Amino acid sequence: MEQPLPPRPDAKLHGSNRCFGCGQANPTGLHLQFLLAEDLSVIGQPVVSSAFEGHPGYLHGGIIATLLDESMSKAVRARGFTTMTRHMEVDYLRPVPSEAPLRLEGRVTRNEGRRHWTEAKILDGEGRLLAQGKGLFIEVRPR
């Protein structure tokens, strides 16, 4: 049974979340929300605005990369780690439509000390794979 991914434990310490991907306090952001699955993978179901298009009707490649990055980082956060992206690979397989239901999936594939390897997918409403990515996230410690 999926449930909403809880906010970061330190969210109140830093005030409003202005993250471009998931920050509800960012007026120009994507406002992504994720669900947590039993296996600690994450799922998002956004409809991304045409304001983030490259070609008319399709999302800009940087936004596609952001969707994958957010999915991977939330999968790591679901395991209780605060991390930053160290390396990310993106495979753009098909154009990703704007203003259409998407499915984001993110999961951790391996952990080793402060290093966390991840993968993510973007699927359309029919379940077709549109883009996928892999990433390495490094745990950061609060100052």
Q: Domains of the chain: which residue ranges?
A: 3-139
| pLDDT at position 8 | 67
Helices (H), 78-117: none
- Decide which of 3.40.50.2300, 3.40.50.9100, 3.40.50.460, 3.10.129.10 is the CATH code for 3-139: 3.10.129.10
| pLDDT at position 24 | 83
pTM comes to: 0.93
| pLDDT at position 1 | 74
| pLDDT at position 35 | 96
Largest interatomic CA distance in the chain: 44
Non-local CB neighbours of 72 within 8 Å, separated by 6+ positions:
85, 88, 106, 118, 119, 120, 133, 135, 137
Low-confidence ranges of the chain (pLDDT < 50): none
